[in-house]
Amino acid sequence: MHLAVILGLALGGTWLFALWSLPLWVLAIFVLQFFRDPARQPPQTPGVVISPADGRVVAVEQGQDPYLNRRALKISIFMNVFNVHSNRSPLAGRVRNRWYHPGSFLNAALSKASLENERLALWIEADSGEDVVCVQVAGLIARRILCYVNPDDLLVRGQRYGFIRFGSRVDVYLPPQSIPLVTVGDRVTGGLAVVARLAGNAPH
């Protein structure tokens, strides 16, 4: 819808004032690249957790899962405005619950954004039994979080489950024994990059 409106304005501007339509075409190209959502085939290795988003890893740490009130391994991925913003399920499982929290719109790269910004958390019970929480966090520019799934829905690994409009982040809370396979600063691709391995599936 947004792209159709901008393209219409750009075409109209080109017809009326060719030179002045350039900013509208730049805006149209930006919106087109922002809302792109390429098809991806996730890895099928048992027990791995894939990245729910494109972006840069900004946190890999042990801490407290505020949604299930437990210790957890937290992996956070920051998305800038040039990343694909479609969010994908990090593993296969059943949605147990979802929580929406209104909040601020701090820079999503900041650690405190996880608890202070507007966010939507999804509790997924993996097919292998582990509990995983995936949190969409709005950012400085983001003003809308979309989540397409509800409690009791079944997810397959890499399935699109949501979208965040403009710069934002996704936090993943895993069982504390999980093994991280990324470090801070790594660039990851949603639906493709493996970010962790659940402890019960670690190689011996």
> CA 199 from chain center: how many Å?
23
Pairwise CA distance, residues 121 & 65, whole Å: 11
Helix (H), strand (E) at residue 13: helix 2-16
Contact status, residue 75 vs residue 63, Cβ threshold 8 Å: no
Contacts of residues 145-151 at CB distance under 8 Å and 24 or more positions apart, as own/partner, are 145/100, 145/118, 145/119, 145/120, 147/98, 147/120, 147/122, 149/95, 149/98, 149/122, 150/95, 150/98, 151/95, 151/96, 151/97, 151/98
The torsion of the CA quartet 59, 60, 66, 68, rounded to 10 degrees, works out to 150
* Active-site annotation holds for 168: yes
Q: Is 95 buried (19+), middle (13-18) or exposed (0-12) by CB count in 10 A?
A: buried
Q: What is the rounded distance in angstroms from the CA atom of residue 11 to the CA atom of residue 161?
A: 33
Q: Looking at 51, 76, 168, 178, which residue is catalytic?
A: 168
Residue positions annotated with a catalytic role: 168
